Amino acid sequence: MTRPAPDLRLTPRERDLVQAVAAGRTNREIANELHLGEQAVKNVLSVVYQKCHVRNRLELALFAIRNGLIDQ
């Protein structure tokens, strides 16, 4: 079964979260860095997972690397 193409129209905030996840930061660390609540981080990550057609942080990090969504 093939996956549909990901929706790469991420907001700047969503891209910030993708970069933080790919860098290995926890939700708490991301929340502190971006001045958000931890629940807000979880909510935004849920949206990002759907847009990128991934199921977890590892898949998101790999997706980000493969699709040039992170600064290296």
Determine the topology of domain 12-66 in CATH.
Answer: Arc Repressor Mutant, subunit A (1.10.10)
**Which whole-number Å values give the CA distances from 38 to 7, 28, 67, in the listed order?**
24, 6, 26
Q: Give the closest residue to 64 by CA, choosing from 24, 33, 21, 31.
A: 21
Q: Which tokens in the block code for residue 28?
A: 């708490």
For all residues of the chain together, what is the average pLDDT? 90
Question: How sure is the predictor about 63, in pLDDT bands with cuts at 50, 70 and 90?
Answer: very high
- Please tell me the predicted confidence (pLDDT) of residue 7: 58
- Please tell me the predicted confidence (pLDDT) of residue 37: 97
- pLDDT of residue 72 exceeding 70, the answer is no
- 16-46 pLDDT, tens per residue? 999 999 999 999 999 999 999 999 999 999 9
- pLDDT of residue 67 exceeding 80, the answer is yes
57: buried, middle or exposed (CB in 10 Å: 19+, 13-18, 0-12)? middle
**Which whole-number Å values give the CA distances from 56 to 35, 47, in the listed order?**
23, 12
